[in-house]
Structure 1
Amino acid sequence: MTGTSGAAQGRTAARRKRVPRQVREQQIIDVAVRVFAKRGYHAASVDEIAELAGISKPMVYLYLESKEGLFLACLRREADRLVVAFQEAARGAGAAPELRLYAGLSAFFAFVAEHRDSWVVLHRQASELTETIAGAVAEARRAVMAEVAGLVRDGISDSGQGGRLGAEDADFVAHALVGAADSLTDWMERNPGQGSDGMALRLMNMVWVGMRDVLDGGAWLPEA
């Protein structure tokens, strides 16, 4: 009787310890982001990730199929988080396009500062890997670019310059802003006292002030 009771208790305890697949997958990704950021894609070990996640190596493959699949899951989740952080900050900043852009850029720099492992995976490692991974990076970048370009188009429209400046100009400015923000994350790491708001303010003053002059009809041309 005691043995039967003990077996039943063991089965009950096992059921309690079962974690829903979605939760377990996120736990694996949490660990994998840290390991990939620390060791790099090639040196990272699925064995280490499994051990730190408290599961077996076959279980990692069951959930995410391969090391590349695991890295892609990390990349896509963190890219989605970054895009959502930008979107939510921009949408909560009022009607003026420049205020929404400033808020979005500040959220971008805050994400990089607060989720350094995520940014290492997104920014420093992914572009050097397989074509599939590079494609996922490009997709994430396009999502951020679309948000920025939309805000720039709104700025052009609000200025009344929609007849003189168009989608190509907005796309150009979006690429300049996103490229600058990407490269400035390394500068921010070397100058930690700046803060995300300070970084966004500096970038706005470098780019948006010039953009405002263009919207007012100004242009620079080299002397003949």
Structure 2
Amino acid sequence: MRKIVVTIFLFSQTFILAQVGNENVSFSTGNFFTRANRPSTKEHIIDGIPYPNGKQFDKVAIDGYGKNVQNLRYNAYDDEMEFQEKEQTYYTNKEEGIKILFPSLKKTYVSSNYVVEGKSKFGYLVLLIENSKYSLYKREKIELLKGEKSPSAFGKDANDYYAKEKDLYLIKKDSIFIKFPKNSKDFIEQFDLNKSEFESFAKSSKVNFSKEESLIKLVDYLNQVK
């Protein structure tokens, strides 16, 4: 009898956790939608926004959750997903490996542990290619820059402002993330490719290492030849 009572209690606690933040959230064993910290309110005026997709909250689809989950938006300055409840904005709780599809944006974000330039990160990456061999991800980042002081006592100081950093592209092999090579020479060396075959492909495909569509083509090529 005691075992039955304990089981019912644990089940009810898990169910409550899954429901916090929105009564329409379907049951899930995760606590993604429990209310984490509220984003801090800046005490001074900042120009721009920290949201690469706009400041609106968009519909999402998440495996393991129902259709009526909260709308979300990605804060690229804080590297957090946000949702709104009763006019208050909260961060979600990050869960390793969770995939968040934004149908209207045609983008999927995945929370991942990864290492870039020797630094460990746990945050959101945009999934561009998912493959058992090589996958491609993009990290979006927005930084906060200081506004400049007016050189004149009669002028107005510029406000601090959000500025978009250059997107960082990462290739994943097994559990290892590799910073995307900067040119054809580095790409060939990194993945030990046949030089003449790759150069022929790059020429016919008009590969440009500064364009996302070309990076997608390159990883598709990599998955075919390796």
Q: Please state which band the TM-score falls in when normalised by the shorter chain.
A: under 0.3
Q: Larger Rg: 1 or 2? A: 1
Q: Which has the higher contact order (CA 8 A, sep 6+)?
A: 1
Larger helix share, 1 or 2: 1
When normalised by structure 1's length, the TM-score is 0.26
When normalised by structure 2's length, the TM-score is 0.26
Larger strand share, 1 or 2: 2
